[in-house]
Amino acid sequence: MSSLTVDEVTPEITYALRGAVLRPDGGDIVWAGDEEQATFHLAARTGDRVVGVVRFSPAPCPWRPLARSPWQLRGMATEPDVRGSGAGRALVVEGLARVAARGGDVVWCDARVGAAGFYERMGFTVVTDEFEKTGIGPHVGMLIDVPPSTAPRSS
Ligand SMILES: CC(C)(COP(=O)(O)OP(=O)(O)OC[C@H]1O[C@@H](n2cnc3c(N)ncnc32)[C@H](O)[C@@H]1OP(=O)(O)O)[C@@H](O)C(=O)NCCC(=O)NCCS
């Protein structure tokens, strides 16, 4: 198998996997903010095949109102046949580094309960009780403090 790469991509590159994994029943796969200039999308690939996707965008953190520069993680999905091999981790690690380079101090997400253990492995903490997202299922709020970047700011 080709080695895994993670790169910033246009939103359109993420839609097929977003749809197949996160909206298999046909819900919206194009979301508000996808085309915002500050939003960035990452794709993990083995060769030409996209095996994982995620989006990061600046957004107020519901549970950290005083965060200076909060970012939301959304649309995290990997292909079922690569799960457990590090694609999800590679996407989160790269995303957190890019958020840090942009001066972000917190990343938060509404995590599906089934994925909360993954985010905990990535260093996130559960900060809410369970809540229901209509048509999707139970979630918990999670966040991670982003250490200041030592890399030069990209913007
Ligand atoms: C959650 C998801 C993105 C994880 O992706 P992945 O490619 O399997 O992640 P990785 O292989 O990089 O796993 C990283 C670590 O998390 C662990 N892990 C992965 N999924 C986990 C889960 N659901 N619960 C607990 N731990 C998990 C792995 O075992 C691995 O552990 P390690 O640190 O010992 O190596 C993937 O399972 C997925 O797309 N699920 C369906 C969609 C979904 O729920 N997305 C999140 C929406 S909020």
The answer to whether residue 21 sits within a structural domain is yes
| Measured torsion, CA atoms of residues 152, 93, 33, 20, in degrees rounded to the nearest 10 | 150
Report how far Cα 111 is from the mean position of its chain's Cα atoms: 10
| 73-117 per-position pLDDT tens digit | 999 999 999 999 999 999 999 999 999 999 999 999 999 999 999
Prediction pTM value = 0.96
The alpha carbon of 51 and the centre of ligand 1 are apart by a number of angstroms equal to 13
| 37-71 per-position pLDDT tens digit | 999 999 999 999 999 999 999 999 999 999 999 99
Question: 55 with 34: CB under 8 angstroms?
Answer: yes
∠ Cα 10 115 146 (to 5°): 65
The answer to whether residue 12 sits within a structural domain is yes
* Terminal-residue alpha carbon distance, the chain: 35
Q: How many CB atoms sit inside 10 A of residue 15's CB?
A: 18
Q: Which domain holds residue 23?
A: 4-145
The alpha carbon of 33 and the centre of ligand 1 are apart by a number of angstroms equal to 25
Question: What is the total count of domains within the chain?
Answer: 1
The answer to whether residue 153 sits within a structural domain is no
The answer to whether residue 110 sits within a structural domain is yes
The answer to whether residue 151 sits within a structural domain is no
The answer to whether residue 86 sits within a structural domain is yes
Q: What residues are in contact with ligand 1 under a 6 Å CB criterion?
A: 21-22, 52, 76-78, 82-89, 111-112, 114-115, 117-118, 121
Q: What CATH number does the domain containing 47 carry?
A: 3.40.630.30
